[in-house]
Chain A
Amino acid sequence: MAHEDDPHGLDRASYQPSSGTAVAVTDPVRNPELPPHRERMTDKDPAAMKRAVRTIYTLFYISVAGSLWAVAAYMIFPIESGEIPAIRDNNLFIGLGIALALLAIGVAAIHWSKAVMSDKEHTEARHPTRGTDATRAGAVAVFEAANEESGFGRRTVIRGGLFAALIASILPAITLFRGLAPENTPERPNAGNPVYLLSHTMWKPGMRLAKDPEGTPIKASEVTLGSAVHVIPEPLAELSHEEGYLEEKAKAIVLLVRMLPEQITETPERATWSYDGIVAYSKVCTHVGCPVALYEQQTHHLLCPCHQSQFDVSDGAKVIFGPAARPLPQLPIEVDDEGYLVAQSDFTEPVGPSFWERH
């Protein structure tokens, strides 16, 4: 920081600030000096100073009181009953004590600096950020010496080898991260195959449709006209979290809707997928996977609460509004001998958000 001779470094040869488009103002307005220092009340009036000092130390002691209060509140307001009012009081009174303690310190310190400490403004010179020419020449000399002594610039083969080795050394680290997701195992032959997993759910032919989350199977006769039922595969309710309950549920959830058969527009190949006006669609939004759970009975529209995609259940769950691109996949259903609704098969296409390998 040798700026003594030329404090702004403006005289040195290399300091040629590229003016760019800046044009010097030919006749700039004169910068007035700092305005005369105005004394505060506390500077002029000893009584005011005394008051300020008193305020400051009082605030510090109020802060002590706030801290002590917070400790006391910790003991006075137990929460072991588990009741909400007890939790609220504990939260509120400890919090108020701590807040008082902190705010009082803050206000006191700032009042101290503004009313009592000198408020005389000081001026400090700035220096150009770049190093002086001598410093920069010194830095260049360092690199030159290092280069000369190591042959870094000259011995290109060594240098190339170094770079190759360094880059290659990253590869094992990247490889190790394959372990973040499982591999295929004999027991779970597709555990490491995301495309397979995304393309299959636990629905199988003949699997009963059951209520979410109880798992009671649903008879076709129980589904009243206009109702919407949240459905899971019957065996799902038996699964524990360790056995993949959430993972299976995230793919298998279905919304069951009954309307008048003549209200449904069906393509010929899907004519057998519904049963007497009952249709079943995947409840996973084809946009980013939220549950499409809001059913509007009058219009037969399904609304996704996350990004407001709307699907027309009466017409193949086609997208009629919002960011989703594809219709909700339909679960082909029929009725078994006992009158329960069952799946004819798994979904015929992957459910949920699109992915790269989807087709």
Chain B
Amino acid sequence: MSTATATDETAVGTTREKPLGGRFVGATANYLDERTSLSGLVKELGRKIFPDHWSFMLGEIALWSFVVVLLSGTFLTFFFQASMVPTHYTGAYIPMRGVEMSAALDSTLRISFDIRGGLLVRQIHHWAALVFIAGIGVHMLRVFFTGAFRKPRELNWLIGFVLFVLAMGEGFTGYSLPDDLLSGNGLRIIDGMIKGIPLIGTWTSFLLFGGEFPGMQIVGRLYTLHILLLPAILVALLAAHLILMIINKHTQFAGPGRSNDNVVGYPMLPVYASKMGGFFFIVFGVIVLIASLFTINPVWNYGPYDPSPVSAGTQPDWYIGFADGALRLVPPHLETVFWDHTWSWNIILPITVLVLFIALVAFYPFIEAWITGDKREHHIAQRPRNAPTRTAIGAAGVTFYAVLWAAASSDIIATHFWVTMEGVIHTLQALLFVGPVIAYFVTKRIAIALQKKDREIALHGYESGRIVRLPGGEYIEVHQPVDEYERWKLVDFEIYEPLVVRPNSGGQIPWHQNFRASLSRWFFEDRLAPVTQAEVDEALSHQHHELDHIAEQEDAEIQAMHERAGVPDAPHHPITDGKQSETAVRPTNVIVTDEVVENTAADKGTSNTDVDPDDDVHPSGDTK
């Protein structure tokens, strides 16, 4: 296509015998270009290079599952009645016949039982929504742990964060639409939380529900949010997210030939168009496969909402779990009456903690940039070990989230593992504070240890598994050098120093500069200096020298053994017969030549016998 438009542009007015793709395609391209300047876009973006890495696919999962959500959701809107007008169900599902329920649940049941394939689309929609939010989650973790949020991508991180929040909002509003027992209970919890907010809580709830809970309005209102307002914002921000990604170009991992000033990979057309397009169908296909095999949200088992019944062990959809868990971990009796008003600390506290937590996630790029003082553009995705403090902070955050998440299943944990509910809650309360601290220190140590290991391998090679005995009797494992491409992936090339406090123009050092400097020292403490080329060269020459030396000694020793065995002309290495030999190079193995078969027959049979009478320290069995 790109060449079609490009050639056609030059060929306007003249008749070329055969444009690319045939006369019709050529004429169409010309028609379009003369009205849209599309050729410029194709020329600019058609061969744009995208780097390749499996983790860059995680965001694509989110993108494509969102497309699946849009497609399946559009189908559902043709049948769903977003109304709480009461009706008596008369559809195909016998156990619910005659039950009074809202039109919303009635139409949900009809989608499931009266429309062929309707249940499938409902399940596709729900599963795709779960995959969408999970996809965003892992994509965010990838971006966080590789430092891909650093300049110039801080704003895109913020946009992505808003997308995450919107996706959770979409999930919750959608979950509430069927107006079944479980979703009604979810709304009841939201209502209770809203009422606990100081000053505005009561009226916010009253306005949202159009009067008293549950009222007749909430499903219709959530539907407007679910299919109009939230998706409109989501699509707009998604477009901004992708446009910024194109402007900033994708980050890449360090590799041979890759630097901060280039991007190495495959062109949009044809490779990425095919890969990404194909991946859309794979994501879609996997979601359809799950939806056809696994039931989700069987509202027909729950029945219509009624404030009275409830079943034990109900769980929110997974992405709301952390918020529900926060509610559960609050200790009893946290409520005060102050200034003639009720302060529900058991609501205010968890909401504050959650808001602070996600605000920290949202603004982390700016916080880190302030601490490091780093204003450079970064296009190389860091390996998590090379930024130990950030990785440790991330691990602490993940632990915090995981504890809240586990708390949402505290009752299930208690019943499944036969432990007390109180024990589970108290343990999780303690873990909420202790867990992140432990995770921080353990992760930081592991990251630094991995960095040291990388440095070791880059400088001294990898453990080859080959054990060599030195003449003095010492055993060493021979280290083989890695090739320069591997080494380049192992070395880090960014180095930082903590900020230094400097007095301002008035000769003062303001407190916040001191604070910033101490944060900076904390952030960069225990850092390793990157390997330099001089170190590499020195290590390499040393290593070559060492390896040569080992080879020389080995040769001399084998030759001496051959001589003692009376076969001075025997080869020093196994005879290559086209097969890869698993046996180590030892005189007993290499001396097997036609001429000396008789001499060494005895040795062959009993290879455990020491063939070297001089070497009394040789534990012959060990070298097998």
Contacts and interface: CB of A to CB of B under 8 A. Distances in A.
Interface in A173-229: 177-178, 180-182, 191, 194-195, 197-198, 212-213
Contact of A355 (B102, B265, B342): B342
Contacts of B328: 307-308, 322-323
A205 to B, nearest CB: 23
A28 interface: yes
Contact of A107 (B185, B282, B484): B282
Nearest to B273: A113
B185 to A, nearest CB: 6
A48 interface: no
Interface string A277-311: 00000011101111101100000000001111100
A19 interface: yes
B12 to A, nearest CB: 25
Interface stretch (A144-152, A241-249, A256-264, A268-276): A241-249
B379 interface: yes
A323 to B, nearest CB: 4
B100 interface: yes
A242 B86 contact: yes
Contact of B499 (A21, A94, A113, A177): A21
A110 B530 contact: no
Interface stretch (B330-338, B445-453, B501-509, B564-572): B330-338
B532 A26 contact: yes
A354 B491 contact: no
B259 interface: yes
Contact of B292 (A95, A284, A294, A308): A95
A107 B275 CA distance: 9
B333 A319 contact: yes
A288 B347 contact: yes
A253 B306 CA distance: 11
Interface stretch (B115-123, B460-468, B603-611): B115-123
Interface in A125-139: 125-126, 128-129
Contacts, number: 391
B488 A353 contact: no
A35 interface: yes
B552 interface: no
Given A32-B485, A123-B263, A324-B332, A94 B498 contact: no
Contact of A117 (B210, B257, B274): B274
A194 to B, nearest CB: 4
A34 B292 CA distance: 45
B275 A102 contact: no
B491 A29 contact: yes
Residue of B193, B212, B327 contacting most chain A CB atoms (<10 Å) = B212
Contacts of B215: 247
Interface string B514-554: 00000010001000001111101000000000000000000
Residue of A113, A325, A357 contacting most chain B CB atoms (<10 Å) = A325
Given A30-B533, A94-B116, A117-B274, A321 B485 contact: no
B344 interface: yes
B282 A290 contact: no
A326 to B, nearest CB: 6
Given A103-B286, A180-B207, A357-B202, A122 B332 contact: no
Contacts of A241: 86, 100, 102
Contacts of A94: 116-117, 120, 292
B512 interface: no
Interface stretch (B235-243, B308-316, B576-584): B308-316
Contact of B282 (A90, A103, A124): A103
Interface stretch (A39-47, A75-83, A159-167, A337-345): A75-83
A125 B289 contact: no
Contacts of A122: 47, 49, 264-267
- Measured as residues with beta carbon below 8 angstroms from the partner, the interface class of chain A is 35 or more
B169 interface: no
B213 interface: yes
Given A21-B499, A102-B284, A246-B214, A124 B263 contact: yes
A109 B277 contact: yes
B247 interface: yes
B188 interface: yes
A99 B117 CA distance: 13
Contacts of B262: 123-126
A78 B192 contact: no
A224 to B, nearest CB: 21
Contacts of A333: none
A21 B207 CA distance: 52
A353 B213 CA distance: 12
Contact of B271 (A18, A95, A118, A240): A118
B119 A125 contact: no
A20 B373 contact: yes
Given A117-B274, A306-B185, A28 B532 contact: yes
B282 A79 contact: no
B114 interface: yes
Contact of B375 (A18, A102, A244, A306): A18
A269 B582 CA distance: 91
A359 interface: yes
A191 B211 contact: yes
A80 B110 CA distance: 11
A27 interface: yes
A100 B284 CA distance: 10
A28 B458 CA distance: 13
A19 B134 CA distance: 37
Contacts of A14: none
B189 A288 contact: yes
B375 A110 contact: no
Contacts of A92: 292-293
Contacts of B100: 240-241
B589 to A, nearest CB: 34
A91 B344 contact: no
B567 to A, nearest CB: 43
Interface in B188-221: 188-189, 191-193, 195-203, 205-215, 217, 221
Contact of B536 (A29, A34, A108, A319): A29
Interface in B309-364: 309-314, 324, 327-335, 337, 340-342, 344-347
A194 B207 CA distance: 10
Contact of B335 (A90, A191, A197, A325): A325
Contact of A359 (B340, B488, B496): B340
Nearest to A75: B116
A74 interface: yes
A188 B354 CA distance: 39
A105 B278 contact: yes
B424 to A, nearest CB: 9
Contacts of A51: none
B280 interface: yes
Interface string B573-593: 000000000000000000000
A305 B411 contact: yes
Given A117-B274, A305-B313, A356 B342 contact: yes
A169 interface: no
B421 interface: yes
A352 B205 CA distance: 14
Contacts of B377: 17, 128-129
B116 A74 contact: yes
Interface in A311-352: 319-326, 352
Contacts of A102: 281-282, 284-285, 288
Nearest to B414: A308
21 contacts: A22-B376, A23-B497, A30-B484, A35-B256, A35-B257, A79-B113, A90-B119, A94-B117, A101-B285, A105-B281, A180-B208, A195-B202, A247-B211, A285-B192, A288-B196, A289-B192, A307-B324, A322-B328, A323-B331, A323-B334, A355-B344
Given A125-B261, A323-B329, A323-B331, 7 more contacts: A17-B375, A74-B116, A95-B292, A113-B272, A241-B86, A353-B195, A354-B335
Which 3 A-B pairs give the minimum distances between C-beta atoms?
A95-B292, A288-B192, A109-B278
